[in-house]
Structure formats: structure tokens, C-alpha cells
Amino acid sequence: MHNKSHEPNLSILDTLNEIGIALSAEKNMDSLLERILINAKKLTGADGGTLYLYNAKTQSLEFRIVRTDSLGIKLGGETGAPINANFRPLPLYLDDATPNEQMIAAYAAIHKEIINIEDAYTVTHFDFSGTRKFDESTGYRSKSFLTIPMTNHENDIMAVLQLLNKVEEESGEVIPFSHQDQKLAESLASQAAVALTNQGLIDEMQNLFDAFIKLIATAIDEKSPHTGNHCRRVPEATMMIAEAAHHSGDDYFKEFSMDSTDRYELKVASWLHDCGKITTPVHVVEKATKLETIHDRIELVAARFEILRRDLEISMLKQRIKALEKGDTDHTSIISNYEKLAQSLAEDLSYVKNCNKGGEFMADEQVARVESLSKLSWIDMEGKEQPLITEEECYNLTIRRGTITAEEREIINNHMTLTIRMLEQLPFPKHLRNVPEYAGGHHERMDGKGYPRGLTRNEMSIPARIMAVADVFEALTSSDRPYKKAMPLSQTLTIMGRMVEDNHLDPDIFRLFVDSQVYLEYAEKFLKPEQIDEIDVAQLPGMNISAAI
């Protein structure tokens, strides 16, 4: 025979199962907390409720979700207004370290005990003065309370669920919470505690992962004060461009969109885009001048110039002594000749020091002058003739652009190979599986002449190409490079436009970057005021390049 008395229980059981499944699937903490409170109110017929989260650091209960249907109060969670300053955390312990047993929610958390109160106005062992003040100001009548502590698998307090004023369906009157209500709420709280524990563990691992990523980026930035903000600023520029692409009405970006998972994946990739530099030798990463290794060898060159000057002085003095021995007291020509040679030597040293600083371009005549100076020599203590500038020093001093030799550039370029190799070895979860591709492609070119894999435009994803634009923009506008001044926006965008014409950067992404004024948004946040100058967009190169490469 079919027993109808079991049907309500089965219905409630089905509801609890559905809630449990929903709680397990929820990934957002605010949405999870909201689900817990709303479902608890629904199951018990409560008019209002509060969900407190326990803060272990402050040993207090923090208001996270507050709902009172009859008053239209919706605070916290995904759908409510922010919790305001009037809802101060409830301390579990008083200033003298004694338990705060006057507050019902604090008592439930301290003793891990469910508290069911029929009428708050008749209770004397809990402090409901705050509740009475609330009622006086709103005309509400707080009556029945059901307060349930939520603990994890180790019996540590996690949260407190407090339900207010059970409303009878037929009469609309406020009645006490029944024993069945208590059991239902307790069962829900138990399921919710599991979901909260899981979400807490996920959040803790997420926070650890994020902190570790930023730790790597910080270590790379700290490795070189001359690129000290690069790893931190490229993610900012990348996400700005990506958001512009997401909201763009351009046909090229019509199939490009990002949800929160996509954004996080791109952000992780941009933070890790230079992780291979962690293996790059310091003397290469930190090469601020052409002759720098562990120290700047320009001082060794300067010392040789000084030795040569002193040799000239000694030679001049010897000539004067010989002249005196012959009775010649007029040494004007001897001194004049020495001073002319010494002055020339000083000018040559000053020139070499200037060449050592590096720059955007070194002309053929400048290279020739350094090479001619390398043919001069000095005599060491053993009487051997030594070059004033060694062959290796001459090779470094005649670097055409910047401070890095071709071999050192290859070492630096190798960081991309290492970045990809390192990232591909990590067991990224499904939602981060594109991190190696995004992070490893920002030095590729649209025409396939980039590195490390020589990918063409069609072989690269839009996020990878976005990061390439962000990386170039940050490098050009950076004010901490030792061999160049902080570049203004007009010069930066002109150079980037020429890179587009040279099939280096993606033309559509560059055009979006300019038209959406992402460059200006970034500049106002990170660049010096003097770098922000007027841009004549109509005169910028690369703005009308066809996307077909």
C-alpha cells in the first residue's frame, strides 16, 4: 500500500539533495553563502536571516549575508547591497579575554551549540538590546530565532547561520521554529559546511598559486632594477587591451570574448610571460652599460688611459731633463706637445665613456673611432705592449643599439624557450591549459620571423598577439632602462606603427590599441606626465595596414 505520510519527507529529502548538489557546484563564495541562507529560509519558512563567516585572525563573526523579506532588506552576496559599517563584526571574546556569551551568534560559535528561541523579548540570558533598537527604528518585531553553528570536518567553527521569525503559511503569524525546522536547518548547515570547506580549500590553493606566480614575477623584476616593473606592468597593459577587444564592435573581434575564467587564464599567462628569465645570468639581465659584467669594466679602460697619460707625462719630463742638461731652458714646445696629447687622450676617454652608455643607434663613424682607439697601446710592468682597448672590449663598445651583444641577446632570447619549457612541464588544470601558448608567444612576429618557434599570425591566438603588443608598449615607455630616456607616447606609437608595417605586430590589435585609447588609460596610470603628449592618430604609421599577412 502507498503510504502518503512519507510524501512530505520525500519531498524535503529531494529538496535537500537538490540544494546539496547546487551547493557543491557553486564556485563563487558570495553566491555560495547566498544560496545557503536563501535555501535555509525557504526550508524553514523564515522571514529573515543572517549568515556570519568566522574570521580566525580577529576571532570574530563577520556579517556576510543579511536578508529580511518583509522589510525588503537584501545585504551582501551577489544580489544584495554591500554590507555597511553599521554591521560590525561580533567578537567571540571580550577585551578581558572572557567568552562573549551574551551575543547569541557568538555563544553558538563558541560552544558549537544550536540555539532555538521562541521569543527574544522573553529571554534574559542573551543580550537582545541591539535587536530591540532595530525593531524600534523599523517597526519590526523580532521574535523567533534559530541559530546554528557550522563546523568543518575538524570541528572548527566556520560560520553561523541565524534564522529569524518563522512565518506560518496560512495565518501569516510569526511562530517558533519547530524541531523539524531545526533538523532541516542542521542538515542544510552540514551540507553547507562541506561546500564551504571545499570552497575554502580551493580559495586557499588559489591564493597560494596567485601569490607564487607574483613571487616569481617579483623575483625576476628584482633581479634587474633596470626592468624592475616590467613583469608587473605587462599584465596591466595586456588586460586593458583584452578588455577593449572583448567590448569591440570590430568584425575582427566579433568571435573574441572573455568570461571570468578566460580573464584569469590570460592574467596568469601575462604574469608568467617572462618566467624563463629566472635562469638568465644576472650579468646579462643587469647589463646597464656595454662593458658591464659583474662590474662596469669602463673603469679598467679609464685606468689604462690614465697610465698612457702618465707615460706621456713621464716622456715629457724626460725630454725636459735632457733639454736642461744641454742648457736649453725653453721647454714650451715640449710642454705644448704633451698638453695637446693629454687633452686628446682625455677627449678620447670621454668619448669611450659616452659610447659605453649605449643608445638607440651608433653610426659607422662612431664605430670607426672606437676601433681606431683600440689600436693604441700602453706598456705594462713587464715591459710588454698591451692594447688600450682589448678586442673584446672594442666588440662591446661598438654595439650598435642598446648594451647587449649578439651572443648576450641570444642568451636573453633563450628565456622564451625556457619559459615555454617550464610552463609546459606544469600540470595546468583545464581552465589554464592555454597559459604556455599565451605566455610563450609574445616575441613571435606576424611574418614568422620571431622567436622561439617562428610562428606566423594565423598560428597564434589573439591573446598571445595582444600580449606581444603589451610587452612592446611597456618596454618602449619604461623609464627605468639605463640606455634610453622615458619615451613619450607619440614616439612610442610611431615606433609600434612601424613595427606593424614591418609585419612584427598585429595590425588589428594595434589599431584597437590606438582607437580605444588603451595607451592613454595605461599612460595616465603608470607613465610620467611629461611622457603624455599629443597624438596625431591620422599621422601614425601602421593604422591602415591590411590584416592579411
pLDDT score recorded for residue 23 = 66
Q: What does the pLDDT read at residue 144?
A: 95
Contact 352, 367 (CB under 8 A): no
CB 124 within 8 A of CB 102: no
Which pLDDT does position 25 carry in this prediction? 65
Given a contact cutoff of 8 angstroms between Cβ atoms, the answer to whether 151 and 193 are in contact is yes
Choice among 306-320, 405-419, 443-457, 459-473 with the minimum mean pLDDT: 405-419
pLDDT, the chain, mean: 87
Alpha-carbon gap, residue 42 to 181, rounded angstroms: 11
Pairing relationship of beta strands 60-68 and 46-55 according to DSSP bridges: antiparallel
Region of 175 please: left (phi>0), alpha (psi -120 to 50) or beta.
beta
pLDDT at residue 490 in the model: 95
3-state secondary structure of 38: helix
Distance, CA of 274 to chain centre: 12
Banded pLDDT at 7 (limits 50, 70, 90): very low
- For residue 67, the number of C-alpha atoms closer than 13 Å in the C-beta half-sphere is 25
Identify the sign of the CA torsion 441, 445, 448, 451.
negative
> In this predicted model, what pLDDT tens digit does every residue of 50-97 receive, in sequence order?
999 999 999 999 999 999 999 999 999 888 899 988 889 999 999 999
* DSSP β-bridge partners for residue 68: 48, 73
Crossing angle of helices 518-526 and 489-501, rounded to 10°? 140
Q: What is the pLDDT of residues 237-269, one digit of tens each?
A: 999 999 999 999 898 999 899 999 999 999 999
pLDDT of residue 246: 96
200 pLDDT more than 90: no
The phi and psi torsions of 216 (rounded to 5 degrees) equal: -65, -45
pLDDT of 472 strictly over 60: yes
Closest Cα to residue 274, out of 164, 438, 89?
438
pLDDT per position as a tens digit, 214-226: 888 888 777 666 5
For residues 166 and 143, the answer to whether their CB atoms sit within 8 Å is: no
Annotate 186-225 with b (16+ C-beta within 10 A) or e (fewer): ebbbebbbbbbbbbeeeeeeeeeeeeebeebbeebbebbe
- Average pLDDT, integer, range 4-33: 64
